[in-house]
Structure 1
Amino acid sequence: MMFRLFADYPPVNREAWCFIMKNYKDYNLEDFLLDDSFRLWITRQDGSTSDLWERIAREYPDKKVIMQQAGDLIRSWKAHSAGVSDSELEEQVQRILETTTSKQPEQKPVTMLSRWFAMAAAVAVVGFGIGWYAWTGSPEKHTAVAYSDYVAKTSLPMKEMINTSNNIMLLTLPEGSKVKLHPKGRISYPAQFVHDKKREVYLSGEAFFDVVKDAQNPFFVYANGLVTRVLGTSFRVKTTSTNVEVLVSSGRVSVLPIKDIDHPGDHNAELLLTPNQQAIFSVKDHLISKSITNMPLELIKPDPEDGFVFENQPVSKIFSALEKVYGIPIIYDASVMENCSLRVELSHEPFFVKLDVITQTIGAAYRVSDGQVIVTSEGCN
């Protein structure tokens, strides 16, 4: 499945481009990890293929989450394994893949996560709290013009905070909500913060919000064409010149294009997000897509006695355990997969690695759509 696209290839027309790209639609996490061109791009050793990888993400939006996850793991590995060559990296990945090639339930328990994956996943989760990374690997301009327009339209006296440092700025809003404002970020809010039964802030850049619950006064974040509404929860909002991304850490969050607030009959239904889900809003076409975060966190602890250790258990029980712990719906045909069972030990692996192990072991496949996982299978004998 692996192949390269070299920078010195001659220009191609759209038909030829589509022919070249068609293999990427089947790429999974391991394919990206093993693709030397992708690894060089992620580690900024080769910028000549930036257009290629950015276009792949646009052509196949369902691959964005996988690209994020692969990029996170590669960056973490590189950051904590100085002096390790690409060939050694590939050997590590190949060794991991070998543990998932067998589809026989009688095999010994699968332990996909090697020391390399464990370290990379731990760094990704601890370093960013909720596994939030920009997949492009390159900074984009913040939307100061749009932000200024929103603030200028308000008739109330405003307070503004700008983070000119290189560190996250910790803010406390008048009613007690906490904000972690990232470098170059800007946030404005009315001096009389709670008014007209609303709490409203305007954001440019990136910030993490931990909102005090107040059902009588909902909390609104206005950012580059998108409004995020909560009653009391924690979530992250990030604006770029092209997108607004909202990622939920706890509670429930609803998002809606700002242009639709005053025209309820013209807009799409308000999109509801739950923990481990994210929304990406396109500034250009005002469309919102819902997906799963690149590194879902455990919302509850697994059963302390069994954890994620299954001895010849039906796959339905394993999927049910994943749903319970991560809060992510897993859709599959129970009648087709009723004979699928496996022995598997999954302890500290990230969600998508667990999913890779399970589906590859029983010969199934999955895709992410609208914030849920859809598993397809031809069944098991």
Structure 2
Amino acid sequence: MDQERLYALLAREMAGELTAEEANTLQQLLQQYPDASYIREVFAQNWVPAGKQYGPSQVQQLLEKHQLRLQAASLPEETPVTDIAPPRKVWKLYTAIAASLLVLVSLGAWFLRQRPAQKPAPLAQLVTAKRMRSQILLPDGSRVWLNAGSKLDYPEQFAPHSPREVHLEGEAFFIVAADAERPFRVYTKAFRVHVLGTSFNVRAYPLEDSAVASLVQGAVEVILNNDSKQVVALRPNEKLTIPVHPVTTEATTAAPIPTMAALQKSKLTLVQDSIIPETAWVQNKLAFKHLELEKVVVMLEEWYGVKIDFRNNNKRKLYFTGVFETESLEQVLNAMENTQSFTWEKDNTGKIWIR
């Protein structure tokens, strides 16, 4: 193997037996394995071999012993160099090389253990308030749209040869730059999404009773609660709805992991023309299809930055379909009120009441 060859050449270099051809090979291997350059320097600077702690005098004794082994293995200057060295000289030479190789390998292992771990890249955060939507280009070229009342944590730079990881609270639409060596991962409190290059939507607000992953293009895997045994693969135009326990201000026990039977996998459907409710917000359109009024209310609160509540809880389970773009909150409520299924009013504080 190349690494074994590298250590053998380093040992021969220390023994003074390196040929010109081997020197060229050594330089090529040092470029291929840059860590070995550090090992070479560390050894040359009288560092301690792996696995032991020595004082200055003990370090000096070890180095002197190692130098004596090398000298014993070297041929005297006045001795003519022949093609075949005497057996005892050969044995000494390769014993010294083996000893050097052992020290180098041990020192390499020690060096790798002692090298400080790579610090994670500083995190950046994008937060959108209610009524606001934002768009950002991540360091890898992936593009993210962040819906109202959402938060995205991401590194200022993605590490090379490592997964690209972001953390989401709320809703975001992703168009991920393809990179087979660095899979893209979106973490939420309910699940995480694994992807190589695709476009998808994730909705995971802390106050909602479900989280949804919707795939537009490509392929993704949804891993529930970071449990690698619960994996759901999505194909284009599919979504996965996961029941969760909404976060409240009261003390609660840990939410149970949803079972596979509790999941709802379904197709993305158009509400009109080419509008998909799950991603319409990216086009600044408010769209919902056969959705309970209590969930429509949550969307209206985020979209318009208001508070809405029910005076009549029986109205919560009414279902509505609609697409709105430039309409005001009053126009949206009036349009739904025209179905004669409920009425609404605004109190002195500006809060909306459904009755």
Q: TM-score, normalised by structure 2?
A: 0.36
Larger Rg: 2
Structure showing greater relative contact order (alpha-carbon pairs closer than 8 Å, 6 or more residues apart) = 1
